[in-house]
Amino acid sequence: MDSFLGMPLLPLDAWIQDGVNVFVQHYRGLFQLLRLPVEQFLEWINQSLRAVPPALMIAVLGILGYVRRGTAFAAFCVVSAVLMGWLGFWAESMTSIGIVATSVAFAALLGVPIGILLAEHDGLWRLARPLLDVMQTTPSFVYLVPVVMLFGIGSVPGVIATIVFAIPPLVKLTYLGIKQVSPESIEAGEAFGASRAQLLFQVKLPLALDAIRAGINQTIMLAMVMSSVAAMIGAEGLGLVVLRGISRLDVGMAATGGLCLVLLALMLDGLTQGAEGERPARIFPSFPFRLRRTKTATA
């Protein structure tokens, strides 16, 4: 079909392809430089995880599980970690942890400051909100094409695609956490003579920590999902195991790789949620900054 309702078809796909080709031709070198910090951090994380003996890593996961969620979750972490190694996917599991950790670290490094900036400037939020909505509703596979064109294939481009895919909820929840700070808390800080920076770092951010932590938890879950999809462009880890199983019609390999992914996602989700019995944030935090004199009305 060359027309629709008598009109020639809109060649949007060709326009997008031409635009991307021009962009890649002029800026691919710059993006190759931007991948260096991600590549170095990912390599450091992977080397560190490989250097830890499996028994020690299992013990650390058990201790963290006990501290965060109690005895039952600690037992779950230990059993899950032992099972991943018993199935022969210990190295792949550590690689997946490295990819997720790198993605979340860079997403937090970018997302939290962006969320703070948007919360402090309403005009920027009105411009950024539609973009964040589009990023959250765009299918994960769509991110792979421009990433491959700009960064190539491998684990590092997979991490970059994961960062872009997982960052919107962290930006939004950081924004919401700051904007939902009660006016009474802000007025209390102003009454003590706090500057705008002091209000942000000593009043708003402490009260928004629960929302930011929820954003990081969501970012971790999305990073787990995208790290599996990124196996299509060469990202290593458990996602690659599943992809190989599918490509070979090896149901057993795909199923065991998927089981390890589920166990790893449940462990990370439990470890990053609030601890059981954790005290909620105080409504009025202490104000360690120097108080200023304020004029008071006289009767």
282 Cβ neighbours under 8 A, 6+ residues apart: 206
DSSP string, 167-226: HHHHHHHHHHHHHTS-HHHHHHHHHTT--HHHHIIIIIHHHHHHHHHHHHHHHHHHHHHH
Pull the structure tokens for residue 261. 């992914």
Instruction: Return d(Cα 104, Cα 97) in angstroms, integer.
Output: 10
* pLDDT at residue number 258: 92
Kindly list the domain boundaries of the chain, sorted by start residue: 27-272
**b/e 210-248 (16+ beta carbons within 10 angstroms → b):** ebbebbbbbbbbbbbbbbbbbbbbbbbbbbbbbbebeee
pTM for this entry: 0.83
The topology (CATH level 3) of 27-272 is: MetI-like fold (1.10.3720)
- CA dihedral for 70, 73, 79, 83, sign (positive or negative): negative
Within the chain, which residues score under 70 in pLDDT?
Answer: 1, 274-299
Tokens 């991490």 appear where? 159
User: What are residue 7's phi and psi, to 5 degrees?
Assistant: -105, 145
